Amino acid sequence: MPFLAQASSASARIDSVFLWVFAVCLAFLLLISFFLVYFSVRYRRSRNPEPEDIEGNAWLETVWTLVPLALFLAMFYYGWTDFQYLRNPPKDALLVQVIARQWAWSFKYPNGKQSDQLYAALGRPMKLETRTLDVIHGFFVPAFRVKIDVVPGRRNTVWFTPTLLGDFDIQCTVICGVNHSAMLSKVRVVSEAEFKEWYFSDEAAPRVPAAAAPAAGKEPPIVGLLRGKSCLACHSLDGSPMVGPTFKGLYGSRQTLLIDGERRSAVMDGALLRKAISRPGSVQVLGYPPIMPPAKLSDEEMEDIVAYLRSL
Amino acid sequence: MSYLEAQGRGGLLSWLSSTDHKRIALLYLFLLVPLFWVAVSLGFAMRLKHLFAGDFLMSAQTYNALFTVHGVIMIFMFVIPGLPAVFGNFFLPILIGARDVSFPRLNLLSWYFFAAGAALALLSLFTGRGAPDTGWTFYVPFSLRTGTNVPLAVSAAFVLGLSSILTGLNFITTTHRMRAPGMTWHRMPLFVWALYATGWIQVLVTPIIGITLVLVILERLFGIGVFDPAKGGDPLLYQHLFWIYSHPAVYIMIVPAMGAVTEILPTFARRTIFGYRAIAYSSIAIAALGSIVWAHHMFTSGMSDLAGVIFSLFTFLVAVPSAIKVFNWTATLYKGSIDMQPPMLFALAFVFLFCIGGLTGIIQGALGLNIHLHDTYWIVGHFHYVMFGGTGFAFFAALLYWFPKMFGRMVEPKPVFIAWGLMFAGFNLLYGAFLLLGGMGMPRRYYAHLPQFHPGHLAATVGSWLLVAGLLVLFGSLLRALRSGRRAEDDPWGGKTLEWRIPSPPPAENFAEVPVIDAAPYAYNPGRRS
Ligand SMILES: [Cu+2]
């Protein structure tokens, strides 16, 4: 691929197939273009006033059916062999869990270590098993030529062997909401020794954004509930700006809202909170995108949440 | 008296209640053109946003709404109905020597469905909690969870589908039942063959998108669970259902375009088409094979690897009939006497741009390559080459070709040549840059882009300016021709098919006397055959 590093064992294979398929296609295009231009000039009306009705030619029709067919089948075959390579990880690959959520990636290693960047060792195959906590996402590392959709209810897998040291972009490829294009991360390819050092160190995993780190046990159960219902993907507890308004100081504040389509100034009380959470469509905060999904909460959970928001 | 004046001149109402296929064609045209410009403006705004990598001009939410609405309008309201509804309606009956389609009232009803669907779609932009932001594919579960106005947009697509089915049904029946005496299947112009093949696709696959959209609405309202793994459903089911329609829909878009170009080439080369039967049957082959390749949109979705292999194989097979058409078009120029009028230039641009669209499709049909290219700008570039470079350019070629017949006025060629130059250069800069960006790994539907992609985005945006400038010049000269163009003769281009044997513009029932057909459609030089 143009302007793109070949950073995995798959990269060069994919690129070489791309190159020859591309070359054949380019040759096709040039051939057709040449004849289009040549005939248009050679047989222009001023030069060739007397046309001829040529109705066809069985021999030519056969040739230009069979030759493309043969070339296409060859392309299919090479695409298939590459695909097989991409789909069959070596047995000794290190298995890492990828957890995708709106709009962050997190990676969990067999020893429990967790990170928001993917650490990988040079030359060591790694297999990723993906899962999503909300909608479909796409895990894509262009420099590795690998991509897999992360689909609810499935554990899609993907693998690679890094062949270059450095940082490589991870991008989400399936539209997943307002911050889709910010759902980025990096693969950090380091030497085997450096990887081991990182992997076995007790040092806490690198900085993990609050929303992406379900640090179970350390937080009160109500925060766990909010996280579990994805609320914290869009709302912060500490006043920091996110996609949705922060929960801090929300209760009791006066706001301008669209309530059932009517623009009103209102004080956030328990009733209004319940309405905003259970039927987000009926309460719209001006200045924010209308993307909040309706939450499925039991009455008890709802009361807990309202009580908690009141305490913030 | 032409169809434009006939029917008592009752003003707007006489148009809105007319069952004349030609008037209905114009009714479509008058809806399609403004919708096209709305969608062009949205695309233009998106390109402006990418002048800067980060925040600029609009919010991320607005951007997501823009690409969704741009896609929905362009696909469901311009590219799919474009050629069949406008030129199919106008010329299918004339080309086979009929006075109207089989079911003129149904034809009018389809237009009303279309208008209602378009109205619903526009309504979805301004009501509820904002324009849909899911992309035109409405993938679940995101489309179920987003608070934006997905249900209304989806209902709009449903109603538009009804319109498409009825049009297809009408064309199939008309082709079977309304041909003039002597108009055997192999004497039909190739545009008719293309519309006939398209009609079958419309009738057979559009109901599937209808079902799918209803399921999305039910899922949103009642949580029935067919797409929800927690209730035993599967989001991939949605993708299959969606593409079972939407892939053949690509052929609904392109086959009539191919048909129109096949009419234009012989007229300006002043010789018969090369390989009549090959072109006719390849339309049918495309319609048939095109119905079994849908899952090539899903190679990275996690469906079984075996399915991937099978769908990739079929994808390569469906490329063969398209290649056959390209070769036959090219050979049609051989030993012709070519008059490079604007419609011809657009038709040739179609062949070139469609080749790029088809060939990039081949490249991404290879499994290993698709994994890298899927969901990147490469795909966006590819389908713009097919749908805009292909169907769009063919639409303009057809419009320029049949304009004298439809409106009785000639279009001044000079500004159209300038428009063509701007459009051709801008188009290739814009979508060529897209192909390159996709190869580099730029994902589609991204509000913000990483720095390594910036030069490509700048080039694309400059391309979009040229393209839009060209479009403005083109539509400007069409409008001028409409007001003050020179009167057109009955057969200004020297064409041989039936529409050139009746007055420009045609009278209400087309033929004073139904013609009797005794020859093939493109017999330009009966004396000189080889
Ligand atoms: Cu995502």
Question: At A288, which CATH number?
Answer: 1.10.760.10
Task: State the DSSP code for A224.
Answer: H
Q: Considering only CB atoms, which chain A residues are within 8 Å of B440?
A: 1-4, 142
Are A158 and A204 within one domain?
yes
Cα A255 to Cα A235: distance, rounded to the nearest angstrom: 17
Q: Considering only CB atoms, which chain A residues are within 8 Å of B295?
A: none
Res B10: pLDDT: 65
- Give the amino acid at B150: V
The partner residue sitting opposite A29, judged by closest CB among B271, B359, B367, is: B359
A166-191 residues labelled b (16+ CB within 10 A) or e (exposed)? eebbbbbbbbbbbbbbebbbbbbbbe
CB-neighbour burial class of residue B525 (10 A; exposed 0-12, middle 13-18, buried 19+): middle
Does residue A121 form part of some domain?
A: yes
Quote the number of domains for chain A: 3
Does residue A228 form part of some domain?
A: no
Answer for the pair A114, A122: CB distance below 8 angstroms, yes or no. no
The partner residue sitting opposite A136, judged by closest CB among B139, B146, B147, is: B139
Query: CB B526 to CB A53 under 8 A?
Result: yes
The overall average pLDDT reported for chain A is: 88
**B345: how many CB neighbours lie within 10 A of its CB?**
21
Query: CB A82 to CB B374 under 8 A?
Result: no
CATH architecture for residues B3-501:
Up-down Bundle (1.20)
Cα A83 to Cα A86: distance, rounded to the nearest angstrom: 5
Query: CB A32 to CB B367 under 8 A?
Result: no
The CA–CA distances, whole Å, from B232 to A54, A153, A229, A254, B224 equal 61, 9, 20, 43, 10
Nearest-Cα residue of chain B relative to residue A180? B446
Query: CB A51 to CB B525 under 8 A?
Result: yes
Query: CB B320 to CB A32 under 8 A?
Result: no
Q: How many CA atoms lie within 13 A of A236 on its CB side?
A: 9
Interface check B236 vs A, CB under 8 A: yes
Comparing CA positions, the residue from A297, A164, A281 lying closest to residue A222 is: A297
Are A202 and A112 within one domain?
yes
* CATH code of the domain in which A149 resides: 2.60.40.420
Query: CB B352 to CB A44 under 8 A?
Result: no
Cα A286 to Cα A271: distance, rounded to the nearest angstrom: 19
Res B527: pLDDT: 65
Are A185 and A106 within one domain?
yes
The CA–CA distances, whole Å, from A147 to A160, A172, B222 equal 10, 9, 34
Q: Which of A26, A83, A170 to mutate to test the interface with B (most CBs of B within 10 A)?
A: A83
Instruction: Compute the distance from residue A101 Cα to the ligand 1 centre, in Å.
Output: 7
**Stated length of chain A:** 312
- Give the amino acid at A68: P
Cross-strand pairs, A257: A264, A285
What the block records as the tokens of A38 is 């040549």
Q: Considering only CB atoms, which chain B residues are within 8 Å of A77?
A: none
Torsion-angle region of residue A258: left (phi > 0), alpha (psi -120 to 50) or beta?
A: beta
Residue scoring higher pLDDT (A113 or A39): A39
Are A79 and A59 within one domain?
yes
Are A263 and A297 within one domain?
yes
CA-CA-CA-CA torsion sign (A227, A233, A238, A243) = negative
- What are φ and ψ of residue B493, in 5° steps? -100, -5
Cα A248 to Cα A75: distance, rounded to the nearest angstrom: 58
Instruction: Compute the distance from residue A265 Cα to the ligand 1 centre, in Å.
Output: 35
Cα A172 to Cα A183: distance, rounded to the nearest angstrom: 6
Query: CB B362 to CB A172 under 8 A?
Result: no
Cross-strand pairs, A170: A185
Res B528: pLDDT: 60
In B, residues 396-435, which contact A (CB 8 Å cutoff)?
none
Q: Considering only CB atoms, which chain B residues are within 8 Å of A1?
A: 372, 439-441
Does residue A103 form part of some domain?
A: yes
Query: CB A54 to CB B323 under 8 A?
Result: no
Task: State the DSSP code for B231.
Answer: G
What the block records as the tokens of B382 is 């590819």
Cα A9 to Cα A16: distance, rounded to the nearest angstrom: 12
**Domain stops at, among A55, A87, A119:** A87
Q: Considering only CB atoms, which chain A residues are within 8 Å of B522?
A: 53
DSSP, collapsed to helix, strand or coil, labels residue A45 as coil
In which element (H, E) is residue B193 found? Answer: helix B190-222
The partner residue sitting opposite B443, judged by closest CB among A4, A75, A140, is: A140
DSSP H stretches of helix in A88-171: none
In which element (H, E) is residue A259 found? Answer: strand A254-259
Q: What is the pTM of this model?
A: 0.87
Nearest-Cα residue of chain B relative to residue A283? B129
B130-142 residues labelled b (16+ CB within 10 A) or e (exposed)? bbbbbbbbbbbbb
DSSP, collapsed to helix, strand or coil, labels residue A77 as helix
**Cis, peptide link before residue B505, omega less than 30° from 0:** yes
Cα B421 to Cα B321: distance, rounded to the nearest angstrom: 30
Cα B326 to Cα A64: distance, rounded to the nearest angstrom: 10
The partner residue sitting opposite B525, judged by closest CB among A53, A84, A85, is: A53
Query: CB B363 to CB A43 under 8 A?
Result: no
Cα B331 to Cα B222: distance, rounded to the nearest angstrom: 57
pLDDT in tens, B391-419: 999 999 999 999 999 999 999 999 999 99
In which element (H, E) is residue A148 found? Answer: strand A146-150
Task: State the DSSP code for A284.
Answer: E
Res A286: pLDDT: 78
Q: Which domain holds residue A288?
A: 234-311
At A261, is the pLDDT very low, low, confident or very high (cuts 50, 70, 90)? confident
pLDDT in tens, A204-260: 454 444 444 444 456 788 888 887 777 887 788 888 777 788 888 888 888 888 888
Query: CB B301 to CB A151 under 8 A?
Result: yes
**Beta-sheet pairing, A126-132 with A94-101:** parallel
Query: CB B336 to CB A51 under 8 A?
Result: yes
Query: CB A56 to CB B274 under 8 A?
Result: yes
Answer for the pair A8, A93: CB distance below 8 angstroms, yes or no. no
**Beta-sheet pairing, A283-285 with A146-150:** unpaired
Q: How many CA atoms lie within 13 A of A74 on its CB side?
A: 13
Are A104 and A53 within one domain?
no
For chain B, helix (H) and strand (E) counts, in that order, are 18, 0
Cα A155 to Cα B248: distance, rounded to the nearest angstrom: 30
Cross-strand pairs, A43: none
Comparing CA positions, the residue from B412, B424, B527, B118 lying closest to residue A33 is: B424
Query: CB B372 to CB A142 under 8 A?
Result: yes
Answer for the pair A294, A280: CB distance below 8 angstroms, yes or no. yes
Q: Which of A8, A147, A159 to mutate to test the interface with B (most CBs of B within 10 A)?
A: A147
Count chain A–chain B contacts defined by CB atoms under 8 A.
320
pLDDT in tens, A244-256: 888 888 888 888 8
Res B354: pLDDT: 96
The whole-angstrom distance between A221's CA and the closest CA on chain B is 23
The partner residue sitting opposite B439, judged by closest CB among A1, A87, A175, is: A1
pLDDT in tens, B204-221: 999 999 999 999 999 988
Are A114 and A55 within one domain?
no
Task: State the DSSP code for A293.
Answer: P
Q: Considering only CB atoms, which chain A residues are within 8 Å of B302?
A: 148-149, 151, 154, 156
Does residue A287 form part of some domain?
A: yes
In B, residues 50-109, which contact A (CB 8 Å cutoff)?
59-61, 64
Q: Which of B279, B300, B310, B364 to mutate to test the interface with A (most CBs of A within 10 A)?
A: B300
Cross-strand pairs, A258: A263, A284
Nearest-Cα residue of chain B relative to residue A153? B229
**Domain stops at, among A60, A87, A114:** A87
What the block records as the tokens of B212 is 């799918």
Cα B285 to Cα B91: distance, rounded to the nearest angstrom: 23
- Give the amino acid at A236: S
Residue with tokens 């908690």: A308
Res A210: pLDDT: 43
Query: CB A136 to CB B235 under 8 A?
Result: yes
What are the boundaries of each domain within chain B? Answer: 3-501
Cα A270 to Cα A121: distance, rounded to the nearest angstrom: 52
Residue with tokens 């046309």: A51
- Give the amino acid at A78: Y
Comparing CA positions, the residue from B120, B79, B273, B295 lying closest to residue B193 is: B273
Interface check B271 vs A, CB under 8 A: yes
At A203, is the pLDDT very low, low, confident or very high (cuts 50, 70, 90)? low
Interface check B127 vs A, CB under 8 A: no
List the A184-190 sheet strands across, edge first. Answer: A118-121, A184-190, A166-172, A137-141, A146-150
List the A104-108 sheet strands across, edge first. Answer: A114-115, A104-108, A94-101, A126-132, A157-160
Provide the residues around ligand 1 (an ion) whose CB is within 5 A: A 137, 172, 176, 183
What the block records as the tokens of B286 is 């495309």
ipTM for the complex?
A: 0.91
Are A98 and A203 within one domain?
yes
**Domain stops at, among A87, A108, A140:** A87
Cα B432 to Cα B380: distance, rounded to the nearest angstrom: 10
The partner residue sitting opposite B367, judged by closest CB among A33, A83, A280, is: A83
DSSP, collapsed to helix, strand or coil, labels residue A149 as strand
Task: State the DSSP code for B82.
Answer: I
Residue A220 CB contacts under 8 Å (≥ 6 apart), including other chains: none
Are A107 and A163 within one domain?
yes
Does residue A289 form part of some domain?
A: yes
Interface check B443 vs A, CB under 8 A: yes
pLDDT values of chain B reduced to their tens digit, one per residue, 530 residues: 788 886 665 678 888 989 999 999 999 999 999 999 999 999 999 999 999 998 999 999 999 999 999 999 999 999 999 999 999 999 999 999 999 999 999 999 999 999 999 999 989 888 777 889 999 999 989 998 888 888 898 999 999 999 999 999 999 999 999 999 999 999 999 999 999 999 999 999 999 999 999 999 999 888 898 999 988 899 999 999 999 999 999 999 999 999 999 999 999 999 999 999 999 999 899 988 999 999 999 999 999 999 999 999 999 999 999 999 999 999 999 999 999 999 999 999 999 999 999 999 999 999 999 999 999 999 999 999 999 999 999 999 999 999 999 999 999 999 999 999 999 999 999 999 999 999 999 999 999 999 999 999 999 999 999 999 999 999 999 999 999 999 999 999 999 999 999 999 999 899 999 999 988 899 887 766 54
